[in-house]
Amino acid sequence: MSNILITGATGNIGSEVIRYLFEQNTQNRIIAGVRNIDRAKRIFQKYPQLDYVPFDFEDPETFDNALTGIDRVFLLRPPHLSNVDKHFRPLINLMLKKGILEIVFLSVQGAEKSKVIPHNKMERLIIENGLNYIFLRPSYFMQNLTTTLLDDIQQKREIILPAGDAKFNWIDIDNIAEVGAIVLDNFQNYKNRILEITGKENLNFKEISSIMNNNLNHPISYRNVNPLKFFRVKKREGMPTGMILVMIMLHFLPRFQKEPPISNVYEQLTGRKPTKLEDFIEREKGLFEKS
Ligand SMILES: NC(=O)c1ccc[n+]([C@@H]2O[C@H](COP(=O)([O-])OP(=O)(O)OC[C@H]3O[C@@H](n4cnc5c(N)ncnc54)[C@H](OP(=O)(O)O)[C@@H]3O)[C@@H](O)[C@H]2O)c1
């Protein structure tokens, strides 16, 4: 039995990883490293076997206790933390000191292409320190539609982005988390591998809105804007500047890149096909119809 620390446990991916670990009857001890244990206990009340430990990337004093007795770490970079040297290097150093050599890191598809994105720096940090790793590199989350883009969909009936006609590969977080749980429980089988996790569909936002409109009672539209206009609109709405810049990078740059490659990793690991966008939209229809 291994002791597995899950960071980002209460977020989109982390909470689903925990659900899949217990659904597959993990034989390992799972510990959620969280900032607020009471809140986490409410979120995970269905899983009495889950253990908890205080953990805050922004408070290195929490690291030592959180890593005590741990064999393997699921590392997730919270979206607002980009300073790898400040928030992640000390953690990796302490893992080494404590002899914790197994890490599953949630990266992003294409991380290898850009040295400036934090995921690239984190992958290099992990490799350079000689840890045994599994990098999960998922494509664009379908759940962006039900999180960051949802307010505009519900309130304005539109998706506003500087994405032009760029195609994104769409992946369901459920599928990523399922792969995450499999590799966490079977680390040796996937050790030192990079797993690109994608869906089967490369679609632009025009195509997305049309698929949504085939399924929704209240239609939505896609408004393509230039990055400056996007910045102004979102700033006026009170979105933090850092977040606006990340949104621009994520949606504007793909206009100048090749379509994302499609992988078979999900099928290879689970024997099933990844979620289709149409099925995701049907599943989340209630959210999209609300105003
Ligand atoms: N969106 C995409 O299309 C996409 C695609 C590929 C990869 N990714 C990557 O996926 C990652 C985001 O995953 P996600 O959507 O699951 O994130 P998320 O839902 O925003 O969850 C973030 C998690 O991190 C925790 N957290 C935040 N600040 C923390 C801190 N200081 N110390 C400890 N924990 C902290 C949060 O806990 P609390 O409950 O305490 O807030 C939460 O559990 C990012 O690295 C992103 O780049 C995203």
CA 80 to ligand 1 centroid distance, Å: 8
Strand partners for 197:
138
> What is the rounded CA–CA span in Å between residue 229 and residue 196?
33
- For residue 87, being part of any structural domain is answered with yes
CA dihedral 130, 136, 137, 138 (to 10 degrees): -170
Per-residue pLDDT tens digits for 1-37? 999 999 999 999 999 999 999 999 999 999 999 999 9
Other Cβ atoms closer than 10 A to 281: 21
Residue 291 has pLDDT above 80, yes or no: no
- For residue 236, being part of any structural domain is answered with no
The pLDDT-based confidence of 271 (bands split at 50, 70, 90) is very high
> What is the rounded CA–CA span in Å between residue 68 and residue 72?
11
- For residue 129, being part of any structural domain is answered with yes
pLDDT attached to residue 290: 72
Other Cβ atoms closer than 10 A to 30: 25
For residue 291, give both structure tokens: 């105003």
- For residue 281, being part of any structural domain is answered with no
- For residue 23, being part of any structural domain is answered with yes
Report the CATH number that the domain containing residue 25 is assigned in CATH: 3.40.50.720
- For residue 179, being part of any structural domain is answered with yes
Q: Is 247 in the pocket of ligand 1 (CB under 6 A)?
A: no
Mean pLDDT, the chain, whole residue set: 96
Domain of 28?
A: 3-139+172-197
The residue length of the chain stands at: 291
Per-residue pLDDT tens digits for 226-270? 999 999 999 999 998 988 988 998 999 999 999 999 999 999 999
Query: Among the atoms of ligand 1, which is closest to the Cα of residue 87?
Result: 31
The residue contributing the CA closest to ligand 1 atom 8 is: 108
Number of domains in the chain: 1
CA 121 to ligand 1 centroid distance, Å: 17
CA 254 to ligand 1 centroid distance, Å: 22
- For residue 219, being part of any structural domain is answered with no
> What is the rounded CA–CA span in Å between residue 52 and residue 38?
10
- For residue 11, being part of any structural domain is answered with yes
Q: Is 227 in the pocket of ligand 1 (CB under 6 A)?
A: no
> What is the rounded CA–CA span in Å between residue 21 and residue 45?
15
pLDDT attached to residue 246: 85
- HEC string of the chain equals CCEEEECCCCCHHHHHHHHHHHHCCCCCEEEEEECCHHHHHHHCCCCCCCEEEECCCCCHHHHHHHHCCCCEEEEECCCCCCCHHHHCHHHHHHHHHCCCCEEEEECCCCHHHCCCCHHHHHHHHHHHCCCEEEEEEECEEHHHHHCCCHHHHHHHCEEEECCCCCCEEEECHHHHHHHHHHHHHCHHHHCCEEEEECCCCEECHHHHHHHHHHHCCCCCEEEECCHHHHHHHHHHCCCCHHHHHHHHHHHHHHHHCCCCCCCCHHHHHHCCCCCCHHHHHHHCHHHHHCC
Q: Rounded to two decimals, what is the model's pTM? A: 0.96
Per-residue pLDDT tens digits for 111-157? 998 888 899 999 999 999 999 999 999 999 999 999 999 999 999 99
